[in-house]
Structure formats: structure tokens, C-alpha cells
């Protein structure tokens, strides 16, 4: 019977000790042993069911899987640390007992739903465009967009890294010289919504992610987080099959 092999950096990350970047640093610092021997290669294959992995002399054990939904406020970066000293989303998760990675990102000026988990397999599927997971945003545009411009968003916009997939777009309302719209994507390129609006010679003034799959921000305040319910985790998993 084949055994489930994983790289050493992945084993450390999946155990909830830190990110894969953290794990690589620990390995290069000779702080990690496998079966009593120091290993300096992050790509070293490990059978976590049979091999004994230690960090600083302590046995590394599997941890309970966590799934956390955060209502990210604007002004926080989606990173564990920042050399410029800006607040990060992890400042809002200080009570979480183990490391959880972000599922996708929201830039500093954006707010809304951000998912965290130490279930790396689920995270990779949720961010893989092949699974067509829907992400919905409320957008305030700097100009009033025409129906033709909204249709361009629906059909796909040509960006420097290629055309976007067709999107679901609804005009929420117009106010003076601005348009408020709701847009749903099934891919997650860097700053994609902002770049799509800029391609229409407009600009995003406010961006809030309100939905990921079936998950919403209902009942949660900005800057707060909660655990997903077992039903929500099952629904996410089912949507990826």
C-alpha cells in the first residue's frame, strides 16, 4: 500500500506551526530533525505516519483542522508580517491557537470576507480557477458606467495577463457621477477587479468582498472572525468535487 508522502516544509506547515516560508527558514537553520537526523532540505520527502519529525527537539504532531472567516477591514495587509510595520490580518487573529494560512488575498485598501485554514488541500482547490469557485464583490466606481461598459465586464476584459473570464455583473445603483455594482468572478488574479474597472477608464473607490462560494458576511462585524460551522465546511468541500 502506498504511503502519503509530503515534503518536509509542507509537513511543518500542515501541522499548523507556521507558513511554508517559516518552515523553510527553520529547516535551513538546522532546527528540524527527521528520525533523529538533522535535515536541511525543505523538499525532503516525509511519511508523517511513520517518520518522527522534530522542531527544536519537540515532536511535531498533526493539529485539528481550522476554518476561520474574517471580516477584513480596509487598512490591513494580507500578510503574516510587514517590514514597513503596517497592520496585518494576523493582528486580528491573535486568539487563534495555531497558524492558519489565507485562502486568496485582499489588498490593503479592500475589505470583506477572507478565509483562513490549515487545510492546505482545501485552500489550494478554493484558489484554483479550474474549480470555478465564485467570489462576489461590491464595488464603488469613480465614474458612472454605461450599460455597454457593464456588458464588457460580463463578456471579459482584456488585461496585460490575458482576457478575464466572463463575470456576473449587476448595477446596484447610480449616485451622481458614480456607479455601485456587484460583480462575481470565478478566478482570482492579483487586483483583478480594480484592473478590470481601470480598463474601462474608471477607478475603484471602494471594494468589499461579500461572498465566497456560499459563505457570506452575515452576522459578523468588521475586524471580527468566527469558525466555520461543520455544515459550511461540508458545503465548501462538496462544491469542489
Is 95 assigned a catalytic role? no
Identify the bridge partners of residue 37 per DSSP, sorted by sequence position: 34
Cα gap 133→212, rounded to integer Å = 7
The catalytic position among 82, 107, 109, 235 is 107
CB 47 within 8 A of CB 1: no
- For 52, other C-beta atoms within 10 Å of its C-beta total 12
Cα gap 102→113, rounded to integer Å = 11
CB 212 within 8 A of CB 133: yes
Closest CA to 149 of 179, 173, 186, 185: 179
First to last CA, the chain: 25
Q: Which residues contact 36 (CB under 8 A, 6 or more apart)?
A: 52
For the chain, how are helix, strand and coil distributed in percent, rounded to 5? 25, 30, 45
Alpha-helical (H) ranges within the chain are 8-14, 20-28, 120-127, 147-155, 192-198, 230-238
Show which residues are catalytic. 107
Amino acid at each position: 500500500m502506498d504511503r502519503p508522502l509530503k515534503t518536509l516544509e509542507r509537513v511543518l506547515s500542515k501541522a499548523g506551526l507556521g507558513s511554508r516560508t517559516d518552515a523553510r527558514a527553520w529547516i535551513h537553520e538546522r532546527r528540524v530533525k527527521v528520525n533523529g537526523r538533522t535535515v536541511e532540505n525543505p523538499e525532503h520527502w516525509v511519511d508523517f505516519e511513520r517518520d518522527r519529525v522534530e522542531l527544536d527537539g519537540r515532536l511535531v504532531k498533526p493539529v485539528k483542522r481550522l476554518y476561520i472567516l474574517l471580516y477584513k477591514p480596509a487598512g490591513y495587509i494580507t500578510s503574516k508580517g510587514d517590514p514597513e510595520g503596517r497592520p496585518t490580518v494576523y493582528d486580528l487573529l491573535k486568539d487563534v491557537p495555531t497558524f492558519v494560512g489565507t485562502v486568496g488575498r485582499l489588498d490593503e485598501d479592500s475589505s470583506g470576507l477572507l478565509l483562513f485554514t490549515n487545510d492546505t488541500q482545501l485552500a489550494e482547490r478554493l484558489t484554483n480557477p479550474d474549480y470555478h469557485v465564485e467570489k462576489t464583490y461590491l464595488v464603488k466606481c469613480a465614474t458612472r458606467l454605461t450599460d455597454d461598459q457593464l456588458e464588457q465586464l460580463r463578456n471579459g476584459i482584456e488585461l496585460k495577463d490575458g482576457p478575464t473570464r466572463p463575470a456576473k455583473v449587476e448595477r446596484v445603483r447610480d449616485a451622481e457621477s458614480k456607479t455601485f455594482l456587484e460583480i462575481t468572478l470565478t478566478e482570482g488574479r492579483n487586483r483583478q477587479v480594480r484592473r478590470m474597472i481601470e480598463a474601462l477608464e474608471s477607478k475603484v473607490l471602494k471594494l468589499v468582498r461579500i461572498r465566497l462560494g456560499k459563505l457570506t458576511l452575515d452576522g459578523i462585524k468588521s475586524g471580527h472572525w468566527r469558525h466555520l460551522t461543520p455544515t459550511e465546511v461540508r458545503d465548501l468541500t462538496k462544491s469542489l468535487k
